[in-house]
Amino acid sequence: MRTWTADAEFFDIKQTLECGQVFRFKKTDDGGYVIHSLDKRCFLRKEGDKIILSSDDEDYFRNYFDLDTDYGAITSRLSAFPELTAAVNFGKGIRILRQDFYEAVFSFIVSANNNIGRIKGIIERLCDVYGTDCGGYHAFPKADQLSLATVEQLKQLGLGYRAQYIYDSVREFPSVAAGIDLTDADKTHKKLLELKGVGPKVADCIVLFGLHITRSYPVDTWIFKANATDALNTPQKVRDYFLSRYGEDAGFAQQYVFYYARENRISSTADIKAG
DNA sequence: TACCAGGTGTGGC
DNA sequence: GCCACACATGGT
């Protein structure tokens, strides 16, 4: 196991893990966290102004935590938008993780019309039952492992009506993955809609968290409550407006707003403006 | 007890 | 294309 450090100024472990972008993490006894991705894991804790990271796969998690990106520049650009100042200040330790594409697809299919606590439990059970035993924890199940599950078995893990989506999408996945074009976000978003259980919002999450295409603005219930106005009265209108407003920074902006709105139980655009 | 949660699929128009 | 409605599950 290797250990290395990162600057904590724009890296808050709790904010980054608990802001709703990822589901396979836990608190540890020493006051830190452990995060799992595919068959890998990484321990994190804070010491002074440094984040201490430990993993068998340093290169993977350096990329995963987006450690080469300047979040000072991102927060600075976004804070210039008056409606974002409070949210960016509140969650300025958030980093957008570079998650695995396949794992993001199935994680966010589970996330639809669901709550984060329950999503975490379902995904943990999926790993424990179908994923490879890595000694002390289980990997995220590979497609050939997940495809062994029947719809009934998936339902027993608490997936409800999403069981059929997982069952169908794991079989549709190869052809969809083959059609992904990282240089064309719109084409990629459209391609993802072919998967069962993937609609516009889940596709936006996959694009943002699984492909790190930051020209993306997933509109869930929290974002919609925070952003809706008389003019922006549908998720589609909210999405289009803020995509054009924030451009390549839209994905970051969305995550600051989501975290702020959810942590503070924001219920309207007026609450955001009141700060 | 209704309502909510990082919404989507389906059928009717 | 848009709209209304159903939908598993667990928490409040």
Please report, as a single letter, which amino acid is at residue A78. Answer: L
In the 76-135 segment of chain A, residues within 7 Å (Cβ) of strand C are: 113-115, 117-118
Across A179-195, average pLDDT: 94
pLDDT tens, position by position, A25-46: 999 999 999 999 999 999 999 9
Please report, as a single letter, which amino acid is at residue A145. Answer: Q
Is-catalytic flag, A142?
no
Nearest nt (C1') from A197 Cα? B8
Q: Which residue has the tokens 């300025």?
A: A92
Residue A106: CB less than 7 A from any atom in strand B? no
Residue nearest to nucleotide C6 (CA to C1'): A161
Across A17-32, average pLDDT: 97
Task: Provide the CATH topology of domain A73-92+213-275.
Answer: Endonuclease Iii, domain 2 (1.10.1670)
pLDDT tens, position by position, A121-151: 999 999 999 999 999 999 999 999 999 999 9
Residue A152: CB less than 7 A from any atom in strand C? no
Distance between the alpha carbon (CA) of A121 and the C1' atom of C11, Å? 14
The proportion of chain A whose per-residue pLDDT surpasses 90, expressed as a percent, equals 95
Catalytic residue chosen out of the listed positions A92, A201, A225, A237:
A201
- Please say whether the structural domain A2-68 has been given the CATH code 3.40.50.10490: no
In the 169-228 segment of chain A, residues within 7 Å (Cβ) of strand B are: 193, 195-203, 205, 218-223, 225
**Whether pLDDT at A275 is above 70:** no
Q: CA A89, CA A111: separation in Å to the nearest integer?
A: 27
pLDDT at A11: 98
Domain boundaries, chain A: 2-68, 73-92+213-275, 101-211
Mean pLDDT of chain A: 97
| Residue A3, phi then psi, degrees to nearest 5 | -125, 135
List, in sequence order, every beta strand (DSSP E) within chain A. Answer: 2-7, 25-27, 33-37, 40-47, 50-55
Distance between the alpha carbon (CA) of A197 and the C1' atom of B10, Å? 13
Spatial neighbors of A217 by CB under 8 A, at least 6 apart, are: A204, A223, A238, A239, A242, A243, A246, A250, A251, A253, A254
> Rounded to two decimals, what is the model's pTM?
0.98
Angstrom distances, CA of residue A215 to CA of A13, A64, A130, A192? 24, 19, 34, 16
Residue A158: CB less than 7 A from any atom in strand B? no
The proportion of chain A whose per-residue pLDDT surpasses 70, expressed as a percent, equals 98
| Chain B bases near protein CB atoms (7 A cut-off) | 4-9
Task: Provide the CATH topology of domain A101-211.
Answer: Endonuclease III; domain 1 (1.10.340)
Distance between the alpha carbon (CA) of A6 and the C1' atom of C3, Å? 50
- pLDDT band of residue A267 (cuts 50, 70, 90) is confident
Q: CA A224, CA A247: separation in Å to the nearest integer?
A: 18
Distance between the alpha carbon (CA) of A221 and the C1' atom of B7, Å? 9
Across A89-111, average pLDDT: 98
Residue nearest to nucleotide C10 (CA to C1'): A118
> Helices A116-130 and A101-111 sit at what angle, rounded to 10 degrees?
130
